[in-house]
Amino acid sequence: MVHAPERPPAGAPPIRINLYSDTQTKPTPAMLEAMMRAEVGDEQHGDDPTVHALCDRMAALMGKEAAVFMPSGTMCNVAATLVHCRPGEEIIAHETAHILTSEGGAHAALGSVQILPLKGDRGMYSADALRGALRGKSRHTPTQRLVEVEQTANTGGGAVWDRAVLAEIAEIAHGAGLSTHMDGARLMNACVAAGIPAAEMTAGYDSVWLDFTKGLGAPLGAVLCGTRDFIDEAWRWKQRLGGAMRQAGVCAAGCLYALDHNIDRLADDHANAKALYRGLSQIPGIAVTEPDTNLVYFDTAGTGVASLDVVRALRMEGVQVSFLGGRIRACLHLDVTAPMVEEALQVLRAVVARG
């Protein structure tokens, strides 16, 4: 068992086209400049003005009372669970949700909660699936406490939940006495794709967070939003988990820069994802799902070359993609241009033709 991240294979060339993840974006000179100029203080002591500016701005953007700056999205999810739930309680989420598949079992390890997995296409479940999952109250059943959605749904292919479905899910949850949490790692991708303001998209969700290290291109940081009382309790977990920072304004300045400059341009990533999808769907034997946003999932088994072999062959040509849930994932972001998409398609065609 290897727990540390894998290093590149021996002899691999430098990566020319990085479709691995939007987490791999490098801060631009202009973002670094904003970070260098940031006014800072001791964040843990409540003295960092740039962190306060970011939190105030995020609370307003999400239509919530308050916000807290966290080092990562995972810490936002874990802190939210720890505030919402007590040991032995249950969270309802999609079976592919990040909290269930990709956080090292943190919600069980640290919160002693269980997660009830729901089925549904493209990382999303229906209002009816939620109704069907609600348990009656009895001493035999775990107490259900929280309903979780992921906007966009990552393993679901960057799928965008319909705003009306989100509203119905929140209404059902609240009607049954459960709280609601939105994992908004790529929330702004959903808002740009749907043309819906963030506060509207997150209405009805008691807690929501946004990652600045995905498509928004900042090197570090995520912001969790909710009521004043919720954020007060989340701060206690941030402290306990070791997430209270010092001159964090350097990083918050990168996030503020991203809010000003990197949201509208997400539409370019979505256009590049569509172009990649169109190119892939013209290669015989490739099964590809049409993307709503910036994630393109495909399978090359039908070409006679297994997906994992394609991932390895592409890497040896300087093109990095990821292998996730048995499929290839290509992620579009601000370090990938339209000509790079064309070039990646060319390399892929050659790899598949070579067999």
Ligand X SMILES: *Cc1c(COP(=O)(O)O)cnc(C)c1O
CB of 54 to ligand X, least distance (A): 16
In the bound state, the residue with its beta carbon closest to ligand X is: 73
The residues, ordered by sequence, that sit 6+ positions from 158 with a Cβ below 8 Å of its Cβ are 152, 186, 189, 273, 291, 292, 293, 294, 295
Q: Which is nearer to ligand X, 210 or 314 (CB)?
A: 210
Does the protein bind ligand X through residue 72 (CB under 6 A)? yes
CB of 123 to ligand X, least distance (A): 9
Q: Which of 157, 239, 244, 169 is nearest to 202 (CA)?
A: 169
CB of 209 to ligand X, least distance (A): 9
Specify the 3-state DSSP secondary structure of 196. Answer: coil
Q: Which of residues 24-63 bind ligand X (CB under 6 A)?
A: none
Does the protein bind ligand X through residue 185 (CB under 6 A)? yes
Binding mask 293-332 for ligand X (x = CB under 6 A): ----------------------------------------
Does the protein bind ligand X through residue 181 (CB under 6 A)? no
DSSP label at residue 240:
H
Q: Which is nearer to ligand X, 244 or 305 (CB)?
A: 244
The residues, ordered by sequence, that sit 6+ positions from 128 with a Cβ below 8 Å of its Cβ are none
Which amino acid type is present at position 319? V
Q: Which is nearer to ligand X, 72 or 143 (CB)?
A: 72
The residue range among 10-18, 69-77, 133-141, 240-248 that interacts with ligand X, by the rule CB under 6 A, is 69-77
Among 48, 55, 64, 73, binds ligand X (CB under 6 A): 73
CB of 105 to ligand X, least distance (A): 14
The residues, ordered by sequence, that sit 6+ positions from 238 with a Cβ below 8 Å of its Cβ are 68, 70, 75, 79, 244
Q: Which is nearer to ligand X, 273 or 348 (CB)?
A: 273
Q: Which is nearer to ligand X, 169 or 185 (CB)?
A: 185
Among 74, 96, 179, 189, binds ligand X (CB under 6 A): 74
Measured N-to-C along each axis, helices 49-62 and 249-261 cross at an angle, to the nearest 10 degrees, of 40
Backbone angles phi, psi at 14, to 5 degrees: -60, 155
Query: 241 to each of 70, 74, 82, 110, 184, how far by Cα in Å?
Result: 10, 11, 11, 10, 21
Specify the 3-state DSSP secondary structure of 108. Answer: helix
Binding mask 150-179 for ligand X (x = CB under 6 A): x---x-------------------------
Strands 66-70, 207-211: pairing kind: unpaired
Q: Which is nearer to ligand X, 154 or 289 (CB)?
A: 154
Cβ atoms within 10 Å, residue 8: 11
The residue range among 72-80, 104-112, 125-133, 342-350 that interacts with ligand X, by the rule CB under 6 A, is 72-80
CB of 73 to ligand X, least distance (A): 3
Among 50, 180, 213, 272, binds ligand X (CB under 6 A): 213
**100 vs 111: CA distance, rounded Å:** 13
The residue range among 67-75, 133-141, 190-198, 260-268 that interacts with ligand X, by the rule CB under 6 A, is 67-75
CB of 138 to ligand X, least distance (A): 32
Q: Which is nearer to ligand X, 258 or 351 (CB)?
A: 258
- Is there a contact between 83 and 230 (Cβ–Cβ < 8 Å)? yes
- Is there a contact between 295 and 277 (Cβ–Cβ < 8 Å)? no
Give the binding-site size for ligand X (rule: CB under 6 A). 12
**104 vs 108: CA distance, rounded Å:** 9
Among 159, 169, 178, 222, binds ligand X (CB under 6 A): 222
Structure tokens at 37: 């100029």
Give the residues lining the site for ligand X (CB under 6 A). 72-74, 77, 98, 150, 154, 183, 185, 211, 213, 222
